Structure 1
Amino acid sequence: MQKIKNSKFTIRIPIIVAITLVAGIQIGAKFFGNQNMVGDVIKSSSKFKEILTYIDRSYVDPVDTDSLAEYGITKMLEKLDPHTAYLPAKEAQLAMSELQNGFDGIGVEFNVFNDTVYVVTPLSGGPSEEVGILSGDAILEANDVDLTGEQLNTRLIFNTLRGERGTEVKMKIKRKGFKEPLEFTVLRDKIPTYSVDASYLMEDGITGYIKINRFSETTYDEFLAGLKGLKSEGMTQLVLDLRGNPGGYLERATAIADEFISGNDVLVYTDGKDDRNDRKMYARHKGVFEKGALVVLVDEGSASASEIVSGALQDYDRALIIGRRTFGKGLVQAPISLSDGSELRLTISRYYIPSGRSIQKPYTSGDLQDYYGELNERSEHGEFFSADSIKNDVKNQYKTMGGRTVYGGGGITPDVFVSRDTTHISRYLMELYGTNIIREYALEYSNDNADKLNKMPFNSFLKSFNVTDAMLKEIIKKGESLGIEYVAKDYAKSKSFIQGQVKALIARSIWKDTNGLSNSFYKVIGKDDEMLKAAMSHFEEAKNLGK
């Protein structure tokens, strides 16, 4: 009897087809329950299997049909919306580690469009933030690996940017406003699961400050511990800093909002095609800080769960929102595990905050470049620098519970606008950051002067320690040794900012906090933080909200 010989593809085809069948039939049956729809999906998946079989059997050249199938799925999902995505098994595992176990890497939240990696936000306190990577930067190359073009995928990005802590990643960055690519050297480090960067009482003795960098599994517990601690110290008003927070677990975000909002009203609700995907989340218990002035800081890097928290607090007139318009992500994804360990993140509904407004910004199906390039458009139109440049659609006007006008359809528009501070930005500064000189100098200085600094109370350091011209000359020399040309005009522009960064990094190195906090760092940079200054000057307005 002649043996039947099956190709590797024929053996693997149940797994490949399972992706489309599970993503189609099972999801369709579970979520939509329409027999005609299921029938259409079966026809489409049969066609998909048939074409792959012909390619495997008869195409003139060898083909990796697994990769071809995954490519087809990815392109198919691009026709839906900007956040529906397919993750192969290894990528799904890596992606979850950001919210659960931590990982070693450069610390950026990124998106891919038009075959280019764009930074959504550098993770607060991570190595990329420390060397000056910004939201909107395009990563062109890392360690001589080209991160543009058709070969680009999430696996390549992870494999290139993640690695053993202490190792270097040399990157070429395209930044708007600079004709030539900028070069950065980032030292990989542990990206921790801690999500509260700072929690401290400010110098006035009554204002608390809490900064949350994302909403992970432990965020609510970290936040609650900090909030209770501040209240016990005498806090009567609070600044909640959600700048650069890309979101995360919705339940952690709404639990935090519940600590500020009294009663049992809706905090957020979802609406989709299938009623089974509709849900409402309510305030459920008496919060720790339901009374007392509250200011929330946001910017264009604040997305998803951050927008739900800030939007709900704005809708209930519970907090004054200060900063710049948020990102505008209000689509809900359900993570669906497939049979081979891969994952489909399917958009099943939209978020709506209490006033009834959606925070999702407009998008055209299949046009990811336009969607993710929208932040660059904001920059070009001057929105980062002028409140008058924010183009809210009057058709999306809503009212807060106290009757104030707010807008939907594109992020949370702040009550008080604060422009992006670029007065210190220069090519010279970027080159110093790119080679990690500022951070390395601060660490060296801390090590060399540890005995003297450890004898100094932190408050004395905060008030009296100055980064001298002699110290700055050392930084200039280090730069010149690496080929960075000293430019007097650029140096003058960036000098005070460099001094502040060096002082803050020294503080972080000497006065280490527990539980992932960097209070000493943020107390130093807070002195020159224009948005934080705006918060301090608007507490009276925050106190009178809803009255």
Structure 2
Amino acid sequence: MGENERERIQNDKATVRLPMLLGITLAAGMLIGATFFGGGKSLNNIGRGYSKFKEVLQLIENNYVDTVNTDELVDYSISKMLEKLDPHTTYLNPQDAVAARTQLEGGFDGIGVEFNIYKDTVYVVTPIAGGPSETAGLMSGDKIIRVDDTEMTGSKLDNALVFQKLRGRKGSEVKLVVMRKGEKKPLTFTVLRDRIPTFSVDAAYMIDDKTGYIKVNRFSETTYDEFRKALASLKQKGMGQLVLDLRNNPGGYMDRATSLADEFISGDKLLVYTDGKDDRYDRQTKARISGQFEEGPLVVLVDEGSASASEIVAGALQDHDRALIVGRRSFGKGLVQMPVMLTDGSELRLTISRYYTPSGRSIQKPYTLGKGNEDYEKELEARGKHGEYYIADSIRNDPKYKFRTSGGRTVFGAGGITPDIFVPRDTLFMTKYLIQLYNKNIVREMAMEYANENGKQLEKEGFTAYRKNFTVSDAMMKRLTDDATSQGVKFNEAEYNRSKKYIQTQLKAYIAQYVWKRGHRDGLNNEFFAIMADADETYRKALTLFDQARMLEKGQYTTRTSKQ
């Protein structure tokens, strides 16, 4: 699937391990110049180890037979050393540290476009509303063929190169050469880079006259402010019950997560606490504000991509019997990392404590200290092999880690948050043919072309009419499959028939996104998610569960309901 300049956090191993900055609530002084040595004996041991490492490095530099890059050796040795610790203590070189921090910042410096790479060419999907590219005159469908002196076409083109060339210091200039449909000669634009806001609330809309839906994709600097604004907007529209979607949310800042949970939990109830070897890092976080939605049925969606800060929110709401948790067992990351900036701009993310839900659960899934990360990173794959994604009874909760919610329900720790209502993964539509369409960006590109050709008419008719009446025709599907064939994606009729309905839904959703999202200055992508909901089994199941959520809120329940 296509990428955009506002880089989405995906649930691969890098984003499960790297961006989960749960230690951000620690005092700033602990991040710079803090001493981690417990006493004289420990200091002496570290001193001897440092001297030995320095001695070996000097011998290699001065006497080794070939020329070597000692900086790379240092980075490698640090990374290998950390493999003896837990799976989430991580070292990032300066470049990776900047990239990872950007994912959780409230914005970045760049030109402000969403783009696709299609047929080895960079296509502008849409200039971000109010951004420098829109001001300079770039349009949807433009092909960026050169950035300054760098050609932006060919097989070596990838997202990393595009990010590298388009992003840069605020106030700096970048020259773009583009080809535009209908123009015979290339056009040249000089774009002045600016701060481009990023958003973590993907969608916030009313499903019907009383039901709201909010999707949060990560817990970044601006998440709580975005969420509070979205929640207030839906309440003004009459919302009395809410679906909070935390699926595939890999986490982020701990204090943003607890602030979000506080909007739902009354009084001064405990939200989360941390416990580590050093008492300086132990703290309790309690509810402290009068939240906007402390009463009313609440359903929270989670899956195996929901991690760390997402699990703090889900765990607090489940432990206080405030929300019905729906979906599949969450990732299981309960270790807190403190980010420490090193002198050269690199970063150590050091695990300093474990966090616990109000009932006392550590949701951290098992790992073997010092055994590397391979088995740990394959744990999600192992869940699939023993059927957990499809059968509720396959969830492996350890009876040794049994806890009770405020109302006496049984919940489990040491392995993520187990949902109250299990919904199996729907994979029938997922075929190799569909994946190849994603890899070539064919669905998104066709949606962009259709939106550019018909967008004004669709806008005039309005989204409500579009959602109700628009159908992706067989002619459109024929055009899509012909395009795929021309790009080397061999047509497979059986797989196409399995994926066809999903492709049609997604194509319709992307067309809606390209027509209407440009009008949302707050980054919301409501139209896309509202249409994709038609193909979302977990979402549809959630809408049938508000009676149970209401009973849970009132304490009128007897047992857990995870086998439903």
Q: TM-score, normalised by structure 2?
A: 0.77
The unaligned stretches of length 5 or more in structure 1 are: 1-25, 108-142, 146-156, 168-189
CA apart distance, 1:93 = 2.1
Partner of 2:499: 494
Q: Which amino acid aligns with 2:204?
A: S
The 3-state SS of whatever aligns with 2:213 is strand
Aligned residue among 42, 59, 73 for 1:37: 42
Partner of 2:436: 431
Residues 169-184 of structure 1 aligned to structure 2 (within 5 Å):
none
CA apart distance, 1:427 = 1.7
Q: Which amino acid aligns with 1:523?
A: A
CA apart distance, 1:60 = 2.1
Q: Is residue 2:95 matched to residue 1:90? A: yes
Aligned residue among 335, 338, 345 for 1:334: 338
Aligned residue among 526, 538, 542 for 2:533: 526
**What whole-Å deviation, never above 9, does each CA across 1:294-323 have from its counterpart, x for those lacking one?**
000011111110000001100000000000
**What whole-Å deviation, never above 9, does each CA across 1:55-78 have from its counterpart, x for those lacking one?**
222222222222212211111011
Partner of 2:14: none
**Partner Cα distance (2:230, 2:433) in 1:** 38
Q: Is residue 2:411 matched to residue 1:406? A: yes
Aligned residue among 528, 532, 544 for 1:537: 544
The 3-state SS of whatever aligns with 2:35 is helix
The 3-state SS of whatever aligns with 1:326 is coil
Task: Identify if the C-alpha distance between structure 1 residues 106 and 351 changes in structure 2 by more than 3 Å, giving closer, same or farther.
Answer: farther
Aligned residue among 234, 243, 246 for 1:242: 246
Contact (CA 8 Å) 2:302, 2:328: kept in 1 or not? yes
Aligned residue among 487, 507, 510 for 1:505: 510
Residues 137-176 of structure 1 aligned to structure 2 (within 5 Å):
162-164=163-165
Residues 111-510 of structure 1 aligned to structure 2 (within 5 Å):
162-164=163-165, 193-203=198-208, 205-365=209-369, 366-510=371-515
Contact (CA 8 Å) 1:194, 1:516: kept in 2 or not? yes
Partner of 1:77: 82
Residues 21-32 of structure 1 aligned to structure 2 (within 5 Å):
30-32=35-37
**Partner Cα distance (1:90, 1:495) in 2:** 41
The 3-state SS of whatever aligns with 1:51 is helix
What is the number of residues matched between the two proteins?
455
**Partner Cα distance (1:514, 1:238) in 2:** 23
Task: Identify if the C-alpha distance between structure 1 residues 379 and 402 changes in structure 2 by more than 3 Å, giving closer, same or farther.
Answer: same
Partner of 2:8: none
Q: Which amino acid aligns with 1:44?
A: G
The 3-state SS of whatever aligns with 1:455 is helix
% identity of equivalent residues: 55
CA apart distance, 1:106 = 13
Q: TM-score, normalised by structure 1?
A: 0.79
Contact (CA 8 Å) 1:329, 1:411: kept in 2 or not? yes
CA apart distance, 1:91 = 2.3
CA apart distance, 1:215 = 0.5
CA apart distance, 1:417 = 0.6
Task: Identify if the C-alpha distance between structure 1 residues 289 and 408 changes in structure 2 by more than 3 Å, giving closer, same or farther.
Answer: same
Aligned residue among 67, 72, 79 for 2:72: 67
The unaligned stretches of length 5 or more in structure 2 are: 1-30, 115-153, 168-175, 177-194, 557-564
Contact (CA 8 Å) 1:31, 1:276: kept in 2 or not? no
The 3-state SS of whatever aligns with 1:30 is coil
| Runs of 4+ residues deviating >3 angstroms | 26-29, 102-107, 157-167
CA apart distance, 1:375 = 0.7
**Partner Cα distance (1:359, 1:503) in 2:** 38
**Partner Cα distance (2:159, 2:487) in 1:** 29
Contact (CA 8 Å) 1:32, 1:274: kept in 2 or not? no
**Partner Cα distance (1:79, 1:158) in 2:** 33
**What whole-Å deviation, never above 9, does each CA across 1:44-63 have from its counterpart, x for those lacking one?**
11111112122222222222
Contact (CA 8 Å) 1:28, 1:38: kept in 2 or not? no
Contact (CA 8 Å) 1:210, 1:240: kept in 2 or not? yes
Task: Identify if the C-alpha distance between structure 1 residues 191 and 538 changes in structure 2 by more than 3 Å, giving closer, same or farther.
Answer: farther
**Partner Cα distance (2:460, 2:66) in 1:** 71
Partner of 1:125: none
**Partner Cα distance (1:368, 1:161) in 2:** 31
Contact (CA 8 Å) 1:31, 1:274: kept in 2 or not? no
Q: Which amino acid aligns with 1:306?
A: S
CA apart distance, 1:31 = 3.9
Task: Identify if the C-alpha distance between structure 1 residues 437 and 408 changes in structure 2 by more than 3 Å, giving closer, same or farther.
Answer: same
Contact (CA 8 Å) 1:426, 1:493: kept in 2 or not? yes
**Partner Cα distance (1:423, 1:514) in 2:** 36
Partner of 1:176: none
Superposition RMSD in Å: 2.5
CA apart distance, 1:462 = 1.0
**What whole-Å deviation, never above 9, does each CA across 1:146-196 have from its counterpart, x for those lacking one?**
xxxxxxxxxxx99568444699xxxxxxxxxxxxxxxxxxxxxx9962000
Contact (CA 8 Å) 2:32, 2:341: kept in 1 or not? no
**Partner Cα distance (2:303, 2:402) in 1:** 21
**Partner Cα distance (1:297, 1:435) in 2:** 30
Partner of 1:21: none
**Partner Cα distance (2:34, 2:292) in 1:** 43
Task: Identify if the C-alpha distance between structure 1 residues 29 and 525 changes in structure 2 by more than 3 Å, giving closer, same or farther.
Answer: closer
Q: Which amino acid aligns with 1:277?
A: Y
Task: Identify if the C-alpha distance between structure 1 residues 65 and 420 changes in structure 2 by more than 3 Å, giving closer, same or farther.
Answer: same
CA apart distance, 1:29 = 7.6
The 3-state SS of whatever aligns with 2:214 is strand
Contact (CA 8 Å) 2:37, 2:43: kept in 1 or not? no
Partner of 2:148: none
